[in-house]
Structure 1
Amino acid sequence: MRISRRGFMRAIGAGAMLARPATAQRRGPNIVWIMADDLGYGDVGCYGQEKILTPNIDRLAEQGMRFTQAYAGSTVCAPSRCSLMTGLHNGHGRVRDNIPYGIFLRPDDFTVAELLKQAGYRTGGFGKWSLGNAGSWGMPLYQGFDTYFGQLNQDQAHRYYPDSLWDDDQEMLLMGNRANQRKQYSADLFAERALRFIGDNRERPFFLYFATTLPHFSDFREGPDKLIVPSDEPYTTRDWPQLEKNYAAMVTRLDRHVGEIMAKLREHGLEQNTLVFFTSDNGPWDGHDVRFFRSAGSLRGVKRDLYEGGIRVPMIVRWPDRIRAGSVSHHPWAFWDFLPTAAELAGLPPPKRTDGISIVPELTGRPQSRHEYFYWDYGHVRDKFLQAARWGNWKGVRIGTGSPIDLYDLERDPSEINNVAGANPQVVRRIEEILAEAYQPSPDYLVKG
């Protein structure tokens, strides 16, 4: 008898469910992870934004905990998502850059969706995936998701009026976008399907992964202004460059989707037992004037940099009666902490292979363990290989293999203006040890320079 790849993976999943320990039978909270795409640390009101309207995101902060030192998994899309899904930092992860193309998750990669399925969660992913094209083991349905709707391919996700989207294991044609029409805006479709998922699963625990493409730049073929949005309202009459109007409208549209998700949770009486995370996958894209909105706040760097502006992201977590409303945490944590966090929330033991630490204690007011260090890298096959590590409040950045390490004291200099490497040789040596220790070479990413 022949069995399809999908059937094989479902059979494995069924076996895992049957073998689930009794402790996993108790119901944990619903988990909603909302992730913007290229949204800067300073692009929302509760992080200091003064021009772009984000009332729903700001309300999340008022009702939950806002983190000032949360980090993405990487400074670009695909590896950041890999870190989030697998609980591994970029020195250990499968997908470590947006290029070379064709590096996807494999059967031996263990994702947060697979973990939560073992605890009886219904798992749904909506939006940008980036970790496996059609026909690969990296497709969401082979990586723990019960259902998925969105763009599988990293580059196709940059199109806001595509001809088709991926619906579970089939391609769904968007007839409203055929023959150069623009009637079906992909980001709105992602949100609509996410809302349906909440309603369909209101009677059971669920994990909703909402990875919108807003406010990522558009595919260049869609228009010369690069930021495509159905309307630039409510900024139409502002005396701003059109590109900035479009960017602001994309962020406010994202905020509207956040509000719709929260309203749907309220509609079904799910707010109290739902943990909602809001964040971004990396820092802001500099194809528009990031200074106009101060998209990175006071931080140095943008997307593709390993300075704080490229990797420090907004992070808000809301869980009524468990997380103190209006609280602010300065505890540093990163995307690879989400996997062990989800395990603790679901009543499962922490996975054996992870670089993460559960942040549930910090969320609920208990003593929190801290990382010895954080690690990032980028640009393996590009002209320069970048590495960075944070050790306590020290941050080291190396631009190019064999280059000297620049050192910054984030407590005194969060904008990374003053390189203090010369005055702290022992710290530089420790950072160098961390860079060597944390980076495990991958045959898929041969370092070029």
Structure 2
Amino acid sequence: MISRRRFMQATAAGLAASGLYRKVLAAAAPRPNIILIVADDLGIGELGCYGQKRIRTPNIDRMAAEGLRFTQAYCGTSVCAPSRCALLTGLHMGHAPIRANREVQPEGQKPLPPGMLTVAGLLKQAGYATACIGKWGLGMFDTTGSPLNNGFDHFFGYNCQRHAHSYFPKYLYRDERRFDLDGRTYAQDLIASETLDWVKANRDRPFFLFYAITLPHGKYEIPSTEPYSRENWPEIEKIYAAMITRLDSDVGRLMQQVKDLGLDERTLVLFTSDNGPAENNGGHTTEFFDSNGPYRGTKRTLYEGGLRVPMIARWPQRVPAGRTSDAVWAFWDILPTCAELAGVPVPQAANIDGVSVVPALLGGPGPQREYLYWELHEGRTQQAVRFGDYKAVKDSPSAAVEIYDLERDVTESHDIASERPDLVKRAVALMSAARIDSPDWPMRERRPATRPATRKA
């Protein structure tokens, strides 16, 4: 494990280097537009620029070639709503108000509580136009969790995550107003068009767009399986691949729009996914396309395959082109990063967990900090913490702590806990210190398997 002395030396060097990159940023004017594209359940191994061989993603691959591709970026946690909560609030799962998907009937999810600082709210205060287009999942319009109560001027798409499972819905929302559809319209057609229209309408002022695309989340539906219709694959895999290529196409259309409007050199575009790929679902398997790349685990796990996500940054003349970065950072760093880019301070009272990664975006070092922390409350409570190159995973409150050395064992296949009790002790201390107990998120054990009823003889 990294010593305190080495940590302090690295921190000092990082601060000195980051100061140089911040001077570069200070010389850049005006404040950039920020487009944050978040795919839904897209695995890190499903893009060509991250090693995918069969699914075609030329536009996202071009974005990586023209920008910076991160290899150690992490989501908020490994399911939709809490991961997006971390992204929007700058809080990791030990402090976030949403730490699992929690359904509300008849429509919606557990809402963000009142008074939350969000990246959209902060940028709106700084004079940015703000929009969320795609999927929300953090509270219906009559609650404190409405996107319109959390810094967004405009919303279009699905509010409820369950509703977003249908790509041919009977209705969508424009702001808080529901409008009906015929059930035969592919929702992404409308969402993609709305995105282009909104960017064009706001081209003369700084803007923040949270483009929360639902692709390729199940259920798996698309009007055409081209360009894979002739492949000798199971039909479900043709559909799945076509959904990712459609996602890529719509990213390409948006990037072209930015260029055509003359906004290219004053727009930072970030592309990522809200968590790792969905576990085998509806006949689709993660193994078919090697969706999680070399990593263990999928969505709903806290192994690298569930948490490590694609992250690509593009901003001509600012973000270096054609490079990769091994800077370690996570979704809760997005709020302070956007705040620094916009020149607006983060209120101290917000007590966020994130740190700005502007120096890393500009080609410099990643942030120096003690740890990254995750938890998840889906059936049971899982915890994970990364400190240096070590990663600890705890599958339930009573489970043994697993320890992996990610520098030597990125596949998390060799648990060294028995060899390194010092690391186990450190991990347990960090897992305890990183979280605040919440009555909404009690620590729960794995539910015992139920046995089938037996008939009396």
- Give the TM-score of the pair, scaled to structure 1: 0.89
Q: Secondary structure at the match of 1:385?
A: strand
The residue number in structure 2 matching 1:167 is: 174
Query: Separation in 2 of the partners of 1:277 and 1:368?
Result: 16
Query: Separation in 1 of the partners of 2:52 and 2:142?
Result: 42
Native 8 Å contact 1:34 1:279 kept in 2: yes
Query: Separation in 2 of the partners of 1:330 and 1:124?
Result: 30
In the TM superposition, what are the counterparts of 1:40-439 in structure 2 within 5 Å? 40-99=43-102, 101=104, 102-174=109-181, 176-177=182-183, 182=184, 184-218=185-219, 227-286=220-279, 287=281, 288-352=284-348, 353-379=351-377, 382=379, 384-439=380-435
Query: Separation in 2 of the partners of 1:365 and 1:84?
Result: 22
1:366 shift after superposition = 3.8
Query: Separation in 2 of the partners of 1:144 and 1:41?
Result: 29
Q: Secondary structure at the match of 1:421?
A: coil
1:371 shift after superposition = 2.4
1:172 shift after superposition = 1.1
Native 8 Å contact 1:27 1:346 kept in 2: no
1:439 shift after superposition = 1.5
Whether 2:29 is the aligned partner of 1:36: answer no
Aligned length: 409
Cα distance per residue 1:336-367 (max 9 Å; x no partner): 00000000000012342210010101111344
Native 8 Å contact 2:136 2:159 kept in 1: yes
Cα distance per residue 1:15-55 (max 9 Å; x no partner): xxxxxxxx9xx841000000100000100000000000000
The aligned amino acid for 1:356 is: G
- Flag structure 1 segments of 5+ consecutive residues without an equivalent: 1-22, 219-226
1:188 shift after superposition = 2.0
Cα distance per residue 1:235-293 (max 9 Å; x no partner): 00000001100000000000000000001101100011000000000000121211110
Q: Secondary structure at the match of 2:192?
A: helix
Q: Secondary structure at the match of 1:324?
A: coil
1:100 shift after superposition = 5.3
The aligned amino acid for 2:193 is: E
Q: What percent of counterpart residues are identical? A: 50
1:99 shift after superposition = 2.4
The aligned amino acid for 1:210 is: Y
Cα distance per residue 1:109-153 (max 9 Å; x no partner): 110000001111000110110111131111111100000001111
Query: Separation in 1 of the partners of 2:54 and 2:347?
Result: 42
The aligned amino acid for 2:372 is: F
C-alpha RMSD over aligned residues: 1.3
One of 430, 441, 455 as aligned partner of 1:445 = 441
The residue number in structure 1 matching 2:13 is: none
- Give the TM-score of the pair, scaled to structure 2: 0.88
Query: Separation in 2 of the partners of 1:446 and 1:350?
Result: 30
Query: Separation in 2 of the partners of 1:185 and 1:96?
Result: 31
Native 8 Å contact 2:129 2:206 kept in 1: yes
Query: Separation in 1 of the partners of 2:49 and 2:56?
Result: 10
Native 8 Å contact 1:103 1:444 kept in 2: no
Query: Separation in 2 of the partners of 1:255 and 1:29?
Result: 23
Native 8 Å contact 1:357 1:371 kept in 2: no
The aligned amino acid for 1:247 is: Y
Native 8 Å contact 2:328 2:367 kept in 1: no
Query: Separation in 1 of the partners of 2:127 and 2:102?
Result: 35
1:298 shift after superposition = 0.6
Query: Separation in 1 of the partners of 2:303 and 2:39?
Result: 19
Native 8 Å contact 1:131 1:139 kept in 2: yes
Cα 1:430–1:61 change in 2 (3 A) is same
Query: Separation in 2 of the partners of 1:154 and 1:427?
Result: 38
1:193 shift after superposition = 0.5
The aligned amino acid for 2:247 is: L
Query: Separation in 2 of the partners of 1:109 and 1:157?
Result: 25
Larger deviation, residues 128-137 vs 101-110: 101-110
Native 8 Å contact 1:340 1:351 kept in 2: no
